[in-house]
Amino acid sequence: MIRVILCNSFLIICVLMLVITGHSSSNEASPETGSLQYRSSRVSVDPVHNKTKKEYCDEVNAKFRHFGWYSIICNPKRWKIHDHSSKGNPLIYQEFGLNDSDNGGPVNLVLCGVHGDESVGVYQCFHLVREILFDNPSLSKEIKIVVAPIVNPDGFFANTRQNANGVDLNRNLPTEDWDRLSYTGWSQNRRDPRKFPGKESGSEIESRFLTYLINRYKPDKIISFHSPLGFLDFDGPGDQKYYNLVRIEHRAKYLGLNIEANTKRFLSLVDFPFFPGSLGNYAGNERKIPTYTVEFKSSDPSRGHKYWSAVRFAIVTALRFTVYDENEENTYLNAQNVMRQLAYAENEH
């Protein structure tokens, strides 16, 4: 009897040792990979699906219908894709008008939806494309207009100022003062998460999209739509300078006053400061590109068409206006400097 018990105990011990040995060996380094193989802890993560233009426009149009916008549409055939956001949404843009670089007409860059919760501005870009560039293409004759209608698609769908990484794109551009002042300014603003500048300048794909458009097309001026501060801001040649203005400074400031007049002061020109990482700083201050920020009084999407009606004439007139011409060009955007600034330019998809 004792012998039977001892044999059974021996068998049990042997089985336990085999189990322990087998479990241990399964966790040993693989001779092929040199890394630990934990089968039970492996989790497969599906890669982000990059949406096609049709998939993207279908979702955009659904959002438009939710806003009650039935006079505009996202047509996938009208847009180019530069890249995709971290959520897989296309970063779309298109160029309209002249294709001859020697024509001499002004090159305009129009931006909407930099802040995702300011959707009333997105309406302006799509209506510009529909009414002016397609319904009446003669209005864009002899000028070039580059339109990026939803710079921050992740924020647009989530109704957030920031992108999907929680970064304010208008604080993330690689300005010269970013490393020195971005976090100081953010701290003075009580570290508002809506205005988080990111961990480093130009860290966001949407920010690199903006610098790509600026460096590729070298616009004579930029018009960017925002809300809800309720004014027109100008950054560029002659900004915060009131005496001894040179010709370009006069013309750049005159255009701001002209927009104000053509909206019958619906947009009042103010001298609003720019910030580290902002478009006004990157384009207007550092690159001397006249940059006009339209700040509507409300972000309510139901006011989209009302605002377009109020600013349409002023915007069309501004797009045709020449700040830099054959008599004087923006020397910062000459070929040598542009090549140096193309660090963020990427191939189109």
Q: What is the pLDDT of residue 335?
A: 53
> Are 86 and 102 spatial neighbours (Cβ–Cβ below 8 Å)?
no
**Span 292-314, mean pLDDT?**
97
pTM above 0.85, yes or no: no
- In tens, the pLDDT along 33-60 reads 333 333 333 444 568 899 999 999 999 9
**The pair of three-digit structure tokens given for residue 338, joined into one six-digit string:** 């542009």
User: What is the sign of the dihedral through the CA atoms of 232, 236, 241 and 246?
Assistant: negative
CA trace torsion 145, 276, 194, 343 (10° rounding)? 60
Smallest Cα–Cα separation from 111: which of 329, 282, 340, 239?
A: 282
- In tens, the pLDDT along 70-127 reads 999 999 999 999 999 999 999 999 999 876 555 668 999 999 999 999 999 999 999 9
Q: If you average pLDDT over each of 213-217, 237-241, 326-330, which comes out highest?
A: 213-217
- In tens, the pLDDT along 184-234 reads 888 887 889 999 999 999 999 999 999 999 999 999 999 999 999 999 999
- Residue written as tokens 């890394």? 35
Cα 77-83-87 angle, rounded to 5 deg: 100
